[in-house]
Amino acid sequence: MHRASPAVLWCFLFGNFVIGFGVLMVPGSLNDISHDLQVSVAQAGFLITAGSVLMCLSAPIFATVLAKHDRRKLLTWVMLWYGATHALTLVMPGFNEILWVRVLAMVAPAIFTPQAAACIGQLTAPERRGRAITFVFLGWSVASVVGMPIAAWMGEVYGWRTVFGTLSVLSLISAAWVWCVLPNGLQPPVMSLAAWRQTLSSKPLMYTVLVTVISASGQFVLTAYFAPYFKQTLNTSPTDLSLLFGWFGACGLVGNMLLSRKVDRVGAAKAVNFCLLLMSFSLLLWPLGHNLWLAALILTPWGLGMFAANSAQQARLIQISPELASGSVALNTSAIYLGQAIGSAGGAWLITHDGMAELHWFGWIGVLLALVVSLLAARATRRAHRARVT
């Protein structure tokens, strides 16, 4: 049996960084996309919504259809696809064409992230599984630290095409790395129809996935429009915007690193609840961010909790039912992207109805509701555990 070597862990961390950079670069460069393609901010935000819908619908389908494929070949081709499609957007003549190609590109996140987590779940011992999974998900945090602020700065200074071109190069590097270090013949357990029925009928798993949907919806009402929001309310320069995104991402990286060390001891469910409390605190204080420094301070708890919560959710699902990880993690990935689609669409609607200043209140309600559902999920998990024991 293969084991998760440090090379594999770092390879998946980098792959998640590239995936995260590709997802987060659109919110970061939304101002230039809107200006260059002569569309409204709300219309440009549809790049986020449409891509999120595709990722949501396709992640569980691919988990089944591609179950028997060698993960080394599969994940290599996925990253090549990610790079090639984003390179193609550079020569598209208008927004509608770019939108379609971008949507097709989002097949890659729908496959890579859940399959990488499932591979780690297979390659590591149960007592080390939570730490290994949260480690590879540091890639998303690094993307928020480095990718989102760089995308914001490059988009403002050099244009969004430079950002998309950078992603294409990074995707090719990731594809080569996966091919070089991932072992041949790696196949997590196949998700049969019976396994899917077991997953979908599990209250602990479904409550946990619902937490992800609601939390992501609440957050992306505002995070999808950080760039235009800060430009409108604080008149931020490209450097200011990059600094804010960089600080937000740095907090995310710190939060994920702390989680990686503590999650196996504290428990993934408690870690998720704490992260949701941190995020709700930021959203409650949001109206006080009247200048750059106060905005950065208020962003701090949110950043500490945002990516750590996603990592803890994946670990939580695998701890509940390791044998169903391929399906549950794919569903959770879909839940993230469904939440992003709902949140970004809701935020666009609010913006078109002059509700930019009210975005955070809708986000706060969403995060608090996610906390309530998370507590229900923990109770359902305890009941299921007692039922198995007896």
Report if pTM > 0.85: no
> Which fold would CATH assign to domain 6-389?
Growth Hormone; Chain: A; (1.20.1250)
* Helix (H), strand (E), coil (C) string for the chain: CCCCCHHHHHHHHHHHHHHHHHHHHHHHCHHHHHHHCCCCHHHHCHHHHHHHHHHHHHHHHHHHHCCCCCHHHHHHHHHHHHHHHHHHHCCCCCHHHHHHHHHHHCHHHHHHHHHHHHHHHHHCCHHHHHHHHHHHCHHHHHHHHHHHHHHHHHHHHCCHHHHHHHHHHHHHHHHHHHHHHCCCCCCCCCCCHHHHHHHHCCHHHHHHHHHHHHHHHHHHHHHCCHHHHHHHHHCCCHHHHHHHHHHHHHHHHHHHHHHHHHHHHHCHHHHHHHHHHHHHHHHHHHHHCCCHHHHHHHHHHHHHHHHHHHHHHHHHHHHHCHHHHHHHHHHHHHHHHHHHHHHHHHHHHHHHCCCHHHHHHHHHHHHHHHHHHHHHHHHHHHHHHHHHHC
pLDDT at 89 (0 to 100): 92
How does pLDDT run along the chain (390 residues), one tens digit per residue?
456 577 888 999 999 999 989 988 887 788 888 888 888 888 888 888 887 777 777 777 776 777 677 888 899 999 999 999 999 999 988 899 999 999 899 889 888 887 887 777 667 766 666 677 777 777 877 787 777 778 878 888 888 899 999 999 999 999 999 999 887 877 666 667 777 788 888 899 999 999 999 999 999 899 888 888 888 888 888 888 888 888 888 888 888 788 877 777 788 889 999 999 999 999 999 999 889 899 999 999 999 998 788 878 888 888 888 777 767 877 887 888 788 889 988 988 998 888 888 999 999 999 999 999 999 999 998 888 777 766
pLDDT at 277 (0 to 100): 96
Residue 141 CB coordination number (10 Å) = 31
pLDDT at 321 (0 to 100): 84
Q: Contact, 55 vs 106, CB < 8 A?
A: yes
Tokens 């002569």, residue? Answer: 38
